[in-house]
Amino acid sequence: MLRSGKEHLERLRDGRIVYVGNERIDDVTSHPLFRNAARTVAAIYDMKADPANRERMSFAEGGERYSMYFLQARTPEDLRRRMRAHQAIADMTYGMLGRSPDHVASFVTGMAMNPAVFVSGARPFAENLSAYYRHMRAQDLYAAYAVVPPQAARNPDFYVKQNLPVPTLQVVREGDDGIVISGMKMLATAAVFADEVWIGNLIPLAPDQVKQAVTCAVPVNAKGLTLWSRQAFAAANEFDSPLAWRFDETDSMVMCDDVKVPWERVFVMDDALLAREIYIRTPAHCYGNHQSNVRYWSKLKLIVGLASRVAQSTGADQVPAVRELLGRLAALEATLAGMIHGQIEAWETWPEGYATFNRRLMYAALNWCTEMYSPLIDILRELSGGGVFQMPASVGVMHDPQLRHLFESYWQTPQLPALDRIKLFKLVWDLVGSEFAGRHLQYEKFYAGASFIVRNHNYREAPWDAFHQYADDLLASYGVPEA
């Protein structure tokens, strides 16, 4: 089934509870803080369901059509099809939605390619996982995830010694019909627009943190679950904050207060090691973060395009040093494109019978993206100079004939009329300097974990034996020179 945008919006009116400060939001599809981004998500569903995009955005299996990001690849061409579908979603949202519907779905698809990893204890967790994958793709579900314990709450001893509740989400009871979970997880991006929250542990747990070692899927409207959103980036109008207006996917703490989860939706339980390994012993992490790479690529194209437009608008594009800078930006965009295509060309036959993006190249791109976002944004910031603050506070000047006349006369340049300039610089500011931009800076640094976590993935996957052998061969090829 391919869900339409209208159907998705209807699904979001399900009694979910979202707090912004002490304001309770009952309907994210109509509340001014959320409705524009909700429409953006709906537009993704419409684009997927449009018959014109059928081949690019979906695949057929057993007489049904499913979103392409549920495809379990068996050939490099399948990997290409996945990449093109991610790209279509990322391009239409300019790479601004980190957790678009294809992100967590790609994780679950990757896990379902190696369900044997989930075999643990007496419960049929592997079957649960496979059934959940089939359920997700059949219903075209949108899942967000919260897979990190809250900051500063990673040492349960502190709370236990002081007789305080441990804030980290854990299993508090279990029975014949399922488990009960309580506590918090950070920081489910886009959960307010999703159907389900995947709860898990992407960073290692200590062996004694067994009750926190739970992986399960919970509907966003589950009784006892509340989403505590950060401040939403309220934009007065689209013109003045074009990115925040459409693309504030929001980030929420997931608070569970005695939330019941039926056994069928539990995938890992009481196994601190396995809770993390499900992501790396299956293609989950690779499929999910390939999507992140492709999404970032779309954003980088916007950065490069705007940088050149800004340089043209000030006339700086005529300066050789500025052209050189633009050339460097274009080279960086092409570098990422190469890293993404390379993940497909150097594909891996893993697990048995399936195709997976090259893990090392994927992690290298992830590291590159994490390290490069600040310098990339800084280039755009530098090219913009004070232009962003020469502009009136609001496009409202256009509504006052006298102000409009002055604005159009004095703010124009040989390169651009005044209205085009304010439009360009308002967009640039939303990418380099607004609150929305600041959140994106933080997102790009942390979405896959802090930088040391990303580098550890690269360390883990590196063929050290081969590197050592290579170095040792050279060392062995000469000895002490004769006296």
Runs of H (alpha helix) within 224-319 = 242-247, 272-280, 284-314
For residue 262, give both structure tokens.
Answer: 């039926």
Nearest to ligand FAD of 54, 230 (CB atom):
230
The verdict on 436 binding ligand FAD (CB under 6 A) reads no
The verdict on 218 binding ligand FAD (CB under 6 A) reads no
- Contact criterion met (CB below 8 Å) for 411 and 390: yes
Ranges within 83-102 binding ligand FAD (CB under 6 A): 99
Task: Count Cβ atoms below 10 Å from residue 177 Cβ, excluding itself.
Answer: 9
- Contact criterion met (CB below 8 Å) for 170 and 185: no
Least CB distance to ligand FAD at residue 234 (A): 17
The verdict on 447 binding ligand FAD (CB under 6 A) reads yes
Binding mask 142-181 for ligand FAD (x = CB under 6 A): ---xxxx--x------------------------------
Q: Which of 238, 316, 446, 461 binds ligand FAD (CB under 6 A)?
A: 446
Q: What does the alpha-carbon distance between residue 231 and residue 222 come to, in Å, rounded to a whole number?
A: 23
Q: What does the alpha-carbon distance between residue 203 and residue 185 come to, in Å, rounded to a whole number?
A: 12
Nearest to ligand FAD of 185, 246 (CB atom):
185
Ranges within 278-297 binding ligand FAD (CB under 6 A): none
Stretch near ligand FAD under the rule CB under 6 A, chosen from 124-132, 160-168, 183-191, 306-314: 183-191
The verdict on 188 binding ligand FAD (CB under 6 A) reads yes
Least CB distance to ligand FAD at residue 185 (A): 7
Q: What does the alpha-carbon distance between residue 185 and residue 187 come to, in Å, rounded to a whole number?
A: 6
Report the SS3 class of residue 129: helix
The verdict on 187 binding ligand FAD (CB under 6 A) reads yes
Angle subtended at Cα 264 by Cα 68 and Cα 86, rounded to the nearest 5 degrees:
15
The verdict on 228 binding ligand FAD (CB under 6 A) reads no
Give bridge partners of residue 353 from the DSSP assignment.
none
Nearest to ligand FAD of 284, 397 (CB atom):
284
The verdict on 450 binding ligand FAD (CB under 6 A) reads yes
Nearest to ligand FAD of 426, 439 (CB atom):
439
Least CB distance to ligand FAD at residue 448 (A): 7
Q: What does the alpha-carbon distance between residue 79 and residue 358 come to, in Å, rounded to a whole number?
A: 11
Nearest to ligand FAD of 199, 391 (CB atom):
199
- Contact criterion met (CB below 8 Å) for 94 and 428: no
DSSP labels, 412-465: --SS--HHHHHHHHHHHHHHHTSHHHHHHHHHHHHBTB-HHHHHHHHHHHS-HH
Least CB distance to ligand FAD at residue 451 (A): 6
What residues line the site for ligand FAD (CB under 6 A)? 99, 145-148, 151, 186-189, 251, 439, 442-443, 446-447, 449-450, 452
